[in-house]
Amino acid sequence: MEWKRKDLLSLYDLTAEEIVFLLDTAEEFKKVSERKVKKVPALRGKTVVNFFVEPSTRTRVSFELAEQRLSADIVNMQAAVSSLRKGETLLDTVRNIEALQVDLVVMRHSAPGAQAFIAKHLSCGVVNAGDGAHSHPTQALLDIFTIREKKGCVKGLNVAIVGDILHSRVARSNIWGLLKLGANVTLAGPATLVPREFEEIGVRVCHNLREAIADADVVNLLRIQHERQAAGFFPSTGEYAKFFGINRETLKWMKPDALIMHPGPINRDVELTSEVADGPNSVILEQVTNGLAVRMAVLFLVAGCVKK
Amino acid sequence: MTLKKLLYSPTEMEDAVDRMAGAIQAEFPDGNLALVGLYMQGVPLSERLAEALEKRTGRRPDLARLDISLYRDDFGKRSALPLIRETVIPFDISEANIILVDDVLSSGRTIRAALDAVTDYGRPRLIRLAVLADRGCPEYPIRADYVGFSLFSIPENHKVVVHFNEDPEETGVFEMEWKR
């Protein structure tokens, strides 16, 4: 197949074939990081701006390393020091960035659709590094890459996503990607955080952990944010851990070879105990390694479609 | 009807590969060398060359496959993105005698990229170049050391295509028109 997109905005937009093409490309990029010289000249002479309007450490570091390993030139911009603080509109800010002959903008923003909006106005490529609760395509791609690598396929697998689905862009992106590739998706967590409405898009909604993970091949645990507790979505992190945390006992409810995943940063003893996070089922650090490969593949493919 | 003219038959290709193996053997009589085939057609060519060398020396050279798409200098200028294929180098490049193997030498740009790609894996003792067809129109100062056929009179608007196929009808060195 031929890749034709200058932007990566959401997995919702992609076909199954495009997702598989991205994953296959990432496999080859993973090998670059295992070599003596961890760098290829593919994006030499291209400039990438990492524009993070919402704070991020791991995603930004992962993108930055991916860009460096492709030999791109990099500029990092953060909202705290950008002119957005001085009242400039988002579109004016990115138009100013583009006027500097930039080839790609990697953006994180708290407003859903912000990247889709700027992509429409810019001729350079746009990669979504997270927009509000809407989408985080590279995270879902690295999750699916890890699942495929470990399980050999995605089609027909049972994947349980546990935690705060309501506010999670990771969950939404995973759902679209997994459904397109033929996996069965179960969402689990407190009813306040996992509304029944999700059933309309073809996933199972479950408010009981044991039921959700009994037949799961993959259990993806999402971070519980403490501010959600303050907002009354659940009474306490202790209670959350009691009902939805994975520990030595609840691990026994799962298939022995089920994968434990987490996009990080993990809250030890909330979503999972240390025994589980550091145990044989956990692929959490491999997700991080694979994230680099996936982001290299995304940057390489979209950069190739930016018309200059 | 686009032009597709057979320049060399499968038998003639076999003879050419054997001649190349002979020239390589003359330079490396102990057979201490590694063949690195460039995708796409350099890979099957390197396998045939390895067979021919094994017949002559009794020693099968190390074989590797190299994808150079990340090292090209025309990234973003071509209409289609290159498909990245698996690079497999199952031995240590450092101090090895490397022979790059490709089907056609034309501008020399692919070989320029291959030199960068292969040296990212280590520092070989030496690198040589073997091609089945040399068109003799290099844009870079790159020449082949082992050549099957010299095709210096093919017009610039035609391409030389090498096919290795199970079906002998489809195997051969062809002259074709570029599709525009």
Same-domain pairing of A269 and A141: yes
The pLDDT of B81-90, averaged and rounded, is: 84
pLDDT for the residue numbered A84? 73
Same-domain pairing of A85 and A184: no
Same-domain pairing of A165 and A248: yes
| CATH code, B4-72+82-177 | 3.40.50.2020
pLDDT for the residue numbered B76? 60
Q: Is residue A69 part of a domain?
A: yes
Q: Is residue A1 part of a domain?
A: no
Q: How many CB pairs under 8 A join A and B?
A: 42
Q: Is residue A2 part of a domain?
A: no
User: Structural domain boundaries of chain B?
Assistant: 4-72+82-177
Same-domain pairing of A209 and A91: no
Is A300 in contact with B120 (Cβ distance < 8 A)? no
What is the reported pTM?
A: 0.88
Same-domain pairing of A39 and A148: no
Q: Is residue A192 part of a domain?
A: yes
The pLDDT of B24-36, averaged and rounded, is: 95
Domain count for chain A = 2
In angstroms, the separation between the Cα of residue B81 and the nearest Cα of chain A is 6
Determine the Cα–Cα distance for residues B150 and B164; give it in Å rounded to an integer. 19
pLDDT band at B173 (very low <50, low <70, confident <90, very high): very high
Is B76 in contact with A304 (Cβ distance < 8 A)? yes
Same-domain pairing of A194 and A270: yes
Q: Which of B71, B87, B116 sits opposite A31 (nearest CB)?
A: B87
pLDDT for the residue numbered A51? 95
- Enclosing domain of residue A223: 137-287
Secondary element (H or E) of residue A194: none
Average pLDDT over all residues of chain B: 91
Same-domain pairing of A147 and A257: yes
Same-domain pairing of A115 and A11: yes
Is A301 in contact with B81 (Cβ distance < 8 A)? yes
Same-domain pairing of A207 and A169: yes
Same-domain pairing of A173 and A269: yes
Same-domain pairing of A227 and A116: no
In terms of CA atoms, which chain B residue is nearest residue A306? Answer: B76
CA distances to A260, B93, B114, B119, B137 from B141, rounded to whole Å, are 54, 24, 14, 18, 10
A interface test, pick of B39, B70, B121 with most A CB neighbours within 10 Å: B70
CATH number, domain at A189? 3.40.50.1370
Q: pLDDT tens digit string along B93-151?
A: 999 999 999 999 999 999 999 999 999 999 999 999 999 999 998 899 999 999 999 99
Determine the Cα–Cα distance for residues A141 and A26; give it in Å rounded to an integer. 10
Same-domain pairing of A279 and A144: yes
CA contacts within 13 A on the Cβ side of B5: 10
Determine the Cα–Cα distance for residues A53 and B95; give it in Å rounded to an integer. 49
Q: Which of A4-8, A148-152, B84-88 is least confident? A: B84-88
Percentage of chain A modeled with pLDDT above 70:
98
SS3 A95: helix
Q: Is residue A253 part of a domain?
A: yes
Is A25 in contact with B84 (Cβ distance < 8 A)? yes
